[in-house]
Chain A
Amino acid sequence: MLFWYGLIDTLLPFEWTRHIFMKNALLGIFFVTPIFGILGTMVVNNKMAFFSDSLGHSALTGIAIGVIFGMSNPLWSMLLFSIVLSIAILIVKKAKTASTDTIIGVFSSTAVALGIVILSRNGGFNKYSVYLIGDLLSISPKDLSILGIVLLTVILLWIFVFNKLLLVSVNQSLASSRGIRVNFYEYLFTMLMAVIVTISIQWVGILIISSLLILPAASARNIARNMRQYHFYAVSVALVSGLSGLILSYYWGTATGATIVLVSAVLFMITFTIKLRYN
C-alpha cells in the first residue's frame, strides 16, 4: 500500500489525493469500474438490467437475515440470499409461465419489502441507510484486496468462458446446437453477477449499483461495432466516469457513487448523440 500511496503522491500531487481515504478510494475505483464495465457488457447483452437491479435490492433482505442471526458483518448472509434469489428467478423464468419482467418484479419487491420489514423493526432502519447509497470513501486496504480478487476472477472468467457466454447470449438454440451447455453458463453468469453485485454494494449502494453496470455498457453500445470496441469503450467509460465522479464528489461534498453515475449518464448522452448523428 505504501508503494501505492507514494506513487499517487508523485504522479498526482493534487489537493484531493492528499488524504489516505482518497488514495484508497482511487484504487477502489480502479478495481470496481473495470469489473462493472466488463460485466455490464454481458448484462446488457442478456437484457438483464432489471435483473441486476433486483439483485441489488435483494441485498436488503440479505442484511436483514444477517441481523436476525446476529452477524456483525452481514456479507455472508447477503451473498447467500442473492445467490438463492438469482437461482430462484432463473428457475421460475425457465418454467416460462409468466414474462421475465413480471417474475423479477415479484421477486424483487418481495425481497425489498421483507428486508425493510425486518430491518425497520424497533425503528432502527437508519443505521442501514449506508447500504442504500454506499460509501466508497470508507474503503479499507482489506476491502481493496477483496475487490482485487474479484477483479482477477472476472478477468479470468472473461478469458476462459467469454466465448461461450457470448454464444449463449446471442441465441440459446444456436448455442445448444453447438453442444454448449446453455443452462450451465446461464447459472454461472447469474451467480457470478449475484456475488459481485453483493460484494460491491457496501461501497456503491443499493440504489445505484445497477446503473453502474448498465450505463458504461449502454454508452459503449452506442458507438461500438464489434465486441472488442464494445469492451474497450465500456471499460473506458466506466473508468473515466469513476475517476471524474470521485474527484467531483470530493469538491462538491456529494455521495461518490451517485456522482459517478451522473457522469456516466452524461457520457451516455454524448455517445447517444454520436450514434444519432453518424449512424
Chain B
Amino acid sequence: MRKRGFNQNTQCTGCTCGLCCTQIIDFGVTRSRLEILKNVNLHIHCGDLTALIGPNGAGKSTLLKAVLGEIPHTGKLIFLEANNERTGRPIIGYVPQKLDFDSSSPLSVLDLFAAAHSQMPVWFLRSKRTRQYVRESLKQVQAEHLINRRLGALSGGELQRVLLAFALDPIPHLLLLDEPVSGIDHSGLNLFYQTVSTLRRKYDLSIILISHDLNMVAGYADRVAFMNNKTIEICGTPREVFGNKKVVETFGTGWTAETLGKRRLDTE
C-alpha cells in the first residue's frame, strides 16, 4: 500500500519516514574519464513533486538518464514500500523534453500504446479490449480523440499529453518529467500541469521534474533540488531553496517573493 506523503522532511537523504519512497543513493556518472555527476542523493516520497533546477550543464538530464538506466552509473536506485520493505527497482515513467522520433512514421497513438500494453503484435489484429484500455488511458489526459491519429501528426501539447498517458501505464513508482512543456503554448502548458496535478493526487505519484520555468516550480513543487557542480547542492522546500544566496545568484533575483506569495501548491 502506498501512502500519501506530506513530506516536511527537508533532508534529501535517509528514509525514516515510514512512507513509501524512492531513493537515489550516491549516484555518480563518469564518461570518457570526465566526471559528470558525483554523490547525488535524493529521497522522494510518494505523492511528492521534486523539482530539479540548476544552470545548464549541471547534470540534470544526465541524472535522469542514469535513473532511467540508460547510461552507466555508480550508486543505487531503490524503491521502498511503506513498511520499509525493499522492493528493488522502481517502475519508471518518463516524459522526455522533446521526443526524438521519426514524425513521418506510420505509427498511430493506438499502435504505440498497444505495443507496450499487449502481447499481440500491433501489425496483426487488435482486440477490442486493448482499444478500450488505450482509450481509458488517453481519457485521463483528455486525449481520447487522438487515438487513431499518427503520432507524428500531433501538436506539441497533444504529443506531451499522450506521452504523459503513456508514462502512466503502468502506474509508475517514479515519474520523470524532463522539461515536458518547453516550447509549448500557454494553454497547452497549463493543461499539462493541471493534468499532472490531478493524476498526482489520484495515484500518489512521486515525480521528478526538470524545469527552467521557476514560476511553475514555485507553484507546483513540494521540494526543490538545486543542482550545481555535478551534484545536488541544496535541497529543501521552494521557500528555502529560492531563499538561498547561491540559488539567487544563479537565477537572478526579483521574482521569488511574489511568486512564492501566490503558491498554488495543492498540498498546502
* Among B92-100, B199-207, B218-226, the stretch in contact with A: B92-100
Q: Let me know if B248 is at the binding interface, CB within 8 A.
A: no
Give a binary string over A166-200; 1 marks a CB under 8 Å from any B CB, 0 the rest. Answer: 11001111101111001000000000000000000
Q: Do B69 and A176 touch across chains, with their CB atoms under 8 A apart? A: yes
Minimum Cβ distance to chain B for residue A210 (Å): 18
Q: Do A159 and B96 touch across chains, with their CB atoms under 8 A apart? A: no
Contact A174/B106 with A163-B116, A228-B122, A228-B123 known, Cβ cut-off 8 Å: no
Closest to A232 in B: B123
Q: Do A163 and B122 touch across chains, with their CB atoms under 8 A apart? A: yes
Minimum Cβ distance to chain B for residue A101 (Å): 16
Q: Do A226 and B108 touch across chains, with their CB atoms under 8 A apart? A: yes
Contact A221/B106 with A158-B123, A177-B176, A230-B123 known, Cβ cut-off 8 Å: yes
Give CA–CA (A230, B166) in the complex, Å.
22
Contact A167/B116 with A158-B121, A225-B150, A226-B106 known, Cβ cut-off 8 Å: yes
Total number of residue pairs linking A and B with CB closer than 8 Å = 91
Size category of the binding interface on chain B: 35 or more
Size category of the binding interface on chain A: 20 to 34
Contact A229/B106 with A174-B94, A176-B68 known, Cβ cut-off 8 Å: yes
Chain A positions near chain B (C-beta within 8 angstroms): 41, 45, 47, 158-160, 162-164, 166-167, 170-174, 176-179, 182, 220-221, 224-231
Chain B positions near chain A (C-beta within 8 angstroms): 65, 68-70, 91-94, 96, 99-102, 104-108, 110-112, 114-116, 118-119, 121-124, 126, 148, 150-151, 163, 166-167, 176
- Using A162-B115, A226-B106 as known contacts, list a sample of 7 further A-B pairs with CB atoms less than 8 Å apart, ordered by residue number in A: A162-B122, A163-B119, A173-B94, A177-B68, A177-B94, A226-B107, A228-B126
Would you mind naming 29 contact pairs between A and B with Cβ atoms under 8 Å apart? A47-B102, A159-B124, A160-B121, A162-B115, A162-B121, A163-B115, A166-B115, A166-B122, A167-B112, A167-B115, A167-B116, A170-B101, A170-B112, A171-B96, A173-B70, A174-B96, A174-B99, A177-B94, A177-B176, A178-B116, A220-B106, A224-B106, A225-B108, A226-B107, A226-B110, A226-B111, A227-B106, A227-B108, A230-B123
